[in-house]
Structure formats: structure tokens, C-alpha cells
């Protein structure tokens, strides 16, 4: 079964929306198989957002991602990667479809509540970066 990496970002933590997001994943038939709360640092963020290192928004994004703790998680299900990306919506909340997390609660293109892997290969990489094998539970 496909797995994907989902991270609740600091804005969602501040707005007490972490479990609203998780609830939507559960209702869509996805199953949590790993979860941990952590505070990100520059080392984590330089790797996680390495593909955005040359972008104008990179430093602001890192500052935002260090504002509060985050919750890293892994979700399993059929087409989990695509399903989660559909549930969270487009990066920019203004462009996100009605009923998606980012449409419903996103403040702006930076403070958009949640990160989710954009493909199966990225998912494997991100899961491996945040979790040891024995922290991903087969159930
Ligand atoms: O998160 P997603 O994969 O939808 O978008 P991305 O293009 O991979 O960008 C990663 C994150 O950078 C976004 O979720 C935003 O939080 C942030 N971002 C930003 O602050 N300003 C932008 N113009 C684009 C993205
Ligand atoms: Mg992305």
C-alpha cells in the first residue's frame, strides 16, 4: 500500500487545526502509520526545502517553519500521495479548490497549514528522513 509524508506546519499548530487536518485524512480512508512532534531547525529545513534554496521566499519560509513545533506523520492508503495532495489543495490558498484544507484555512501562499509529498519517490525520501524504519508501524 502506498505511503506518503504529511507535516502539520506551525500555522496549523498555532490555530489548533492539526487534528482537523488529520481528521480529514482519516475520513478519506487513509491510515496513520507514524507520527511525531518536533521543532525544525536549519539543518532539517535546508534538506527538506533544498529544491527551493534558490527561491526568494526560502529564508522567510525557514523562519516561518521554525515559529512553532510541527507534527511529522506518515499515512498509508491506495494512491495516498495523490489523495493527500487533493485533500490539502493548491499551494496558494487563493487557488485551492473549495473544500480543501488550504482553501478553508490557509492564510497565504506561505502559511498554508500542511506539507505533503509531491510524488512516491519524494514520499520515500521524506519518510526516511524523518522516521527510522521501526517508527513506521505496520498495522
Ligand atoms: O507545499 P507545496 O508542495 O504545495 O508547494 P512548494 O512549491 O513545494 O513550496 C513549498 C512551500 O514553500 C509552500 O507550501 C509554502 O509554504 C512555501 N512557499 C512560499 O512561501 N512562497 C511561495 N511563493 C511558494 C511556496
Ligand atoms: Mg512541494
d(CA 58, ligand 1 centre) in Å: 9
Whole-model pTM: value is 0.98
The ligand with the least distance to the CA atom of 9 is: 1
Q: What is the residue with the minimal CA distance to atom 11 of ligand 1? A: 110
Q: What's the confidence (pLDDT) of residue 80?
A: 98
CATH of 2-134, one of 2.60.40.1190, 3.30.2320.30, 3.30.70.141, 3.40.50.720: 3.30.70.141
Atom 4 in ligand 1: residue holding the nearest Cα: 91
103 catalytically annotated: no
Average pLDDT over residues 66-73: 98
Taking the C-alpha atoms of residue 126 and residue 83, their distance in angstroms, rounded to an integer, is 17
pLDDT tens-digit map of 79-91? 999 999 999 999 9
Q: What does the pLDDT look like over 80-130, one tens digit per residue? A: 999 999 999 999 999 999 999 999 999 999 999 999 999 999 999 999 999
Q: What average pLDDT does this structure show over 46-69?
A: 98
Amino acid at each position: 500500500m502506498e505511503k506518503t509524508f504529511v507535516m502539520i506546519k506551525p500555522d496549523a499548530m498555532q490555530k489548533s487545526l492539526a487534528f482537523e487536518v488529520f481528521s480529514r485524512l482519516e475520513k478519506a480512508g487513509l491510515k496513520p502509520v507514524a507520527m511525531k512532534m518536533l521543532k525544525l531547525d536549519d539543518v532539517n529545513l535546508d534538506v527538506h526545502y533544498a529544491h527551493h534554496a534558490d527561491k526568494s521566499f526560502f529564508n522567510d519560509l525557514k523562519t516561518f517553519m521554525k515559529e512553532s513545533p510541527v507534527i511529522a506523520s506518515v499515512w498509508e492508503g491506495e494512491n495516498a500521495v495523490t489523495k493527500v495532495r487533493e485533500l490539502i489543495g493548491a499551494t496558494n490558498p487563493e487557488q485551492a479548490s473549495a473544500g480543501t484544507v488550504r482553501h478553508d484555512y490557509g492564510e497565504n501562499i506561505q502559511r498554508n497549514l500542511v506539507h505533503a509529498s509531491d510524488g512516491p519517490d519524494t514520499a520515500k525520501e521524506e519518510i526516511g528522513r524523518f522516521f527510522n524504519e521501526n517508527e513506521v508501524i505496520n498495522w
